[in-house]
Amino acid sequence: MRVFKSLVLLFLVPVVRGSMVQLKNAGYEDIVIAINPELPENHNIIRNIQDMVKEASTYLFTATKQRFFFKAVKIIIPLHWLPKPEYLSVKTESYDKADVIVANSFLKYGDDPYTLQYGGCGEKGRYIHFTPNFLLNDNLYNIYGSRAKVFVHEWAHLRWGVFDYNNDAPFYVSVNSGNASIEATRCSADVTGQYIVQTCTGNSCTTRECKYDEQTKLYEAGCKFIPNKIQISPASIMYMQSLPSVVEFCDQSTHNEKATNMQNKICNYKSTWEVIMNTTDFSNTSPINSSSPPFETSFSLLQTKDRVVCLVLDVSGSMDWNNRINRLYQAAEIFLLQIIEMGSWVGIVTFHSTAQIACSLRQIVSENVRRDLITYLPTSAGGGTNICQGVYKGFEVIKQKYPNPDGSEIVLLTDGKDSSMSSCLSEVKNSGSIIHTIALGPSAAPELEQFSDMTGGLKLYATDTVDSNGLTDAFSGISSGSGNISEQSIQLESTALSVAVKQWMNGTVTVDSTVGKDTFFVVTWDGITTPPDILLQDPKGKEYRTSNFTVSNLNLRTALQIAGTAEVGDWLYWMQNNHVAPQVISMIVTSRAASMDVPPVTVKAHMNKDTNNFPNPMVIYAEVSQGFLPVLGATVMATVEPQTGSAVELKLLDDGSGADITKNDGIYSKYFTSFKGNGRYNLKVHIQGRSQTVRLGRRQSRALYVPGYIENGEIKMNAPRPEPSDEEIQAKLGSFNRVATGGSFVVENVPSGGFTDVFPPCKITDLEAQFEEDKIHLSWTAPGNDLDEGQADRYIIKMSENFLDLRNTFDNATSVNTSSLVPKPAGTKESFQFKPENITIENGTIIYFAIRAIDSASLISEVSNVVQAALFVPPKESLPETLPTEVITNSVPTLGSLTDTLPTDVINDGVNVSIIVLIVTGSVIAVLIAVSITICILHKKNRKGGPELRM
């Protein structure tokens, strides 16, 4: 039997947990809107949320043709806000599972509402983010429109997985009646306006018509489409919801399928309404014969409370196998010493055939309480398995202190099966508690995850493989769902290796500037009682030896805790196996936020679904962010460990190809197809960022920031959107390391004897085309043999002067000769140039292209995004007909005075009165000069004619 020793430990950023929204009789219920715990108490936030959703319910009802409305909403109030009689207690709701989050943005740049979307067309988003300023500042109405319209815009992202009409490319070439022109990317194309460039220096701004870019032949950088305030088009909510006329989503009749936007690219050129019609929401409802929603939105105000956790631990006979009881002790000890937040209440229950209370609830107010709780952890195993008895006893422990267990948590760990589990499902569902489940080993009850599904808890899994740190990682992933990231432990490293006798294990852990408080280095091993030889060196060269660590043979103690704030930089470690046999040695490092004012870099990892039926592929996601802003340029490696067989390691990418929907959104993705059999799998990701390559970005799927409007012929510009500089956002980040658990998932129907190639190359989604003299240049990211892994066998490229040919009848379109084109490995940039034949190329020529890939088993990918190569020769620059070359405003518009943007002498059609005066004056002068010259000529002639005419 192996005995594990440890020298301290770690924590994982939690798995993203799903929404609990229900649709009943056309009404959405159980929508959770959570206020960030860092926000000061302000009841206007609550009032404005209620007003927004009530108005949005009517707007949604109309926009969806009387199909949907908002029926019941829960608002989570922070713990530190003063309690009120109308505040109820949270049950299974929490901040990190909320559908809408109200929180300040990092770096204080802008108030763009947005929806975090991981998946493809029709897949639900993660959450909507509003800043408190968006909810409180009425001056933002002119930029985004009413809050109700914005909420419906974002709800469409969140619930139905649609995309924006304006965030991929701002302009494209269009040909109407044989005439080519540059059009703004919008839907519908009937939205009218002007193309304007605004330049501001200090408090002075100049506004002029856009010019053409010599290289792209489109409008120049900085050109904005300024819409007319008064429109006749009712669509679309997903383009410019702020326009008064907009009350509909684009449908098949109004959709602009040729525009270069995310909706067309991701949703295969379908309109928003077509995507909505294809959802289960739509198929499960019918229109209501009413002009308004049948119910007014109701609201419940729920306040969070102190965290209450009861560990319910299996000590049945099978826990003696594979050293499970000792590994349980080690992992639970780590949870109690380092993971569970200060101020939390913790109890311990053990169970086999019956259940026992090991320790009633105690509040963690000091390190002594943590150490005392460890003494109640089990050290021996025996007996049968009765999971329900353990759960009942857990409820009993919680009710001893809190008669109402709402919002409490149970961490349920078991390695065995229990045929009587169904007997307590009803009590679990109605308990108001959240149950996190940890399945240990290959024989844990397959029904275990039902407890988590019903209560919104985490689903975690650990194999018996020693060198994966699986059980420790599982416990470390169970953090508070309060949203207070400054309280949570951040995992910087978790790695293990089988080390031969007298050999070394070494590595580097980067402590970045966003963490450093409460930094712990933990070393575990499984051989003799004495630890390996350890050398740890900080960035300044200070050394820590084995003697600096606190070692205990019975329990994990705070072995090496770095005093104060750990030095920023690379920490180096070396560990030598001094045992007489090979042993597994691991290094685990955790820390906390260095400052409450600067959020740490965090990672959230998960699969696209919890259960999967072969041969459907799965997708791995890892979201890397800092204070709601995406972190770009990191290296993200995912490890998937099956129930049987060896682990699979994959590199996740944020390049907008393959499984990754959007480039540079901080969400790193990869298809997973390496199924090793049926059963449970677990996910873990390692992230490394280097200061030379990482930077922050902006969220996608944002409500459109309208640059201005044209009202009665007068251009009224809004304040420019605030943008952080590249230097600022890069300097604040630096190098970092992170590790996160992605929980567990279950795979079924995998053939027992292995399987042949069933996965085609993935769809190419980033195809681009352009004219280069008389040739066409195409570029895209190479797919793989199996989706985005491996190497495809060949390509099929088609072209047509008709967009619909490629979208609807790809095989019948004109083929491009690709005999010389050999696919590169997946993820590599491809480039192909050729001269089109049998096509007359002239100004206004538009040729459309699409591509498919074929693998070695002749499996064919979906048709790529359709792109255009347009030959457009801009007209010669001429004086604008409706706008002077430069119009100087009195001052930069502010959010408090958005209409004071142009001088009063700008009248209808943008014609300046002073220019009219100058033109008229010039004309009069010209006439007078002509008359004077004529008189002089006549006068001279008369003088020559005779003396009688002399004056």
In tens, the pLDDT along 837-867 reads 877 788 888 999 999 999 999 999 999 999 9
pLDDT of residue 11: 28
- Specify the long-range contacts of residues 809-817, CB closer than 8 Å, at least 24 apart: 810/850, 810/852, 810/863, 813/850, 814/838, 816/849
Residue owning tokens 């220096």: 201
pLDDT of residue 500: 94
Run of H or E residues at 116: strand 114-116
Q: Tell me how far apart the alpha carbons of residues 707 and 181 are, in angstroms, rounded to a whole number.
A: 22
DSSP letter at 898? T
User: What are the phi and psi torsion angles at 498 (to 5°)?
Assistant: -80, 120
Residue 168 has pLDDT above 80, yes or no: no
Report pLDDT digits (tens) over 594-605: 998 889 999 999
pLDDT of residue 872: 86
* Alpha-helical segments (H) within 6-85: 43-63
Tell me the residue type at 824: K
CB atoms within 10 A of CB 241: 25
pLDDT interval class at 109 (50, 70, 90): low
Mean pLDDT, all residues of the chain = 87
Active site residues: 154
CB atoms within 10 A of CB 306: 14
Tell me the residue type at 266: I
pLDDT of residue 883: 44
Residue 436 has pLDDT above 80, yes or no: yes
pLDDT of residue 898: 32
The token pair at 288 is 């209501």
CA atoms within 13 A on the CB side of 325: 19
Is the link from the previous residue into 513 a cis peptide, with omega within 30 of 0?
no
Report pLDDT digits (tens) over 757-789: 999 999 999 999 999 888 999 999 999 999 999
Q: Tell me how far apart the alpha carbons of residues 908 and 710 are, in angstroms, rounded to a whole number.
A: 10
**Strand-pair partners of 127:** 116
Reduced 3-state DSSP string for 148-192: HHHHHHHHHHHHHCCCCCCCCCCEEEEEECCEEEEEECCCCCCCC
Run of H or E residues at 429: helix 425-429
Run of H or E residues at 920: helix 913-945
CB atoms within 10 A of CB 190: 14
CB atoms within 10 A of CB 384: 13
pLDDT of residue 33: 98
**Strand-pair partners of 439:** 414, 461
pLDDT of residue 108: 65
Range in 105-109, 199-203, 216-220, 871-875 with the lowest mean pLDDT: 105-109
pLDDT of residue 209: 94
pLDDT of residue 25: 96
Run of H or E residues at 264: helix 262-266
Query: What average pLDDT does this structure show over 223-227?
Result: 95
Q: Tell me how far apart the alpha carbons of residues 929 and 687 are, in angstroms, rounded to a whole number.
A: 79
Buried b (16+ CB within 10 A) or exposed e, 346-383: bbbbbbbeebebbbbbbebeeeeebeebbebbbeebee
Q: Tell me how far apart the alpha carbons of residues 404 and 745 are, in angstroms, rounded to a whole number.
A: 32
Instruction: Provide the terminal-to-terminal Cα distance of the chain, rounded to the nearest Å.
Output: 136
pLDDT interval class at 910 (50, 70, 90): very low
**Strand-pair partners of 587:** 495, 523
Query: What average pLDDT does this structure show over 348-364?
Result: 98
Spatial CB neighbours of 826, under 8 Å, sequence gap ≥ 6? 658, 782, 783, 784, 785, 788, 789, 790, 791, 792
Please answer whether residues 658 and 712 qualify as being in contact, where contact means their C-beta atoms are separated by less than 8 angstroms: no
pLDDT of residue 621: 98
Which of 619, 527, 536 is closest to 578 using CA atoms? 527
The token pair at 778 is 């195409």
DSSP letter at 111? -
Residue owning tokens 């990317």: 185
pLDDT interval class at 167 (50, 70, 90): low
Residue 701 has pLDDT above 80, yes or no: no
Query: What average pLDDT does this structure show over 108-126?
Result: 90
Q: For the purposes of burial, counting CB atoms within 10 Å of the CB of 580, is it exposed (0-12), middle (13-18) or buried (19 or more)?
A: exposed
Q: Tell me how far apart the alpha carbons of residues 5 and 522 are, in angstroms, rounded to a whole number.
A: 10
pLDDT of residue 66: 97
Specify the pTM: 0.88
User: What are the E-state strand segments in 549-678?
Assistant: 560-561, 569-576, 583-593, 601-607, 611-613, 618-626, 629-632, 635-642, 648-652, 667-672
Which of 155, 157, 190 is closest to 174 using CA atoms? 190
pLDDT of residue 2: 37
CA 322 to chain centre: 39
- % of the chain beyond a pLDDT of 70: 88
Q: Tell me how far apart the alpha carbons of residues 245 and 255 are, in angstroms, rounded to a whole number.
A: 16
Report pLDDT digits (tens) over 538-563: 999 999 998 898 776 554 444 688 88
Which of 754, 819, 760 is closest to 787 using CA atoms? 760
Residue 832 has pLDDT above 70, yes or no: yes
Query: What average pLDDT does this structure show over 620-640?
Result: 95
User: What are the E-state strand segments in 221-344?
Assistant: 223-227, 298-303, 308-314
pLDDT of residue 630: 93
pLDDT of residue 464: 93
pLDDT of residue 18: 67
Please answer whether residues 456 and 94 qualify as being in contact, where contact means their C-beta atoms are separated by less than 8 angstroms: yes
The token pair at 23 is 């649709």
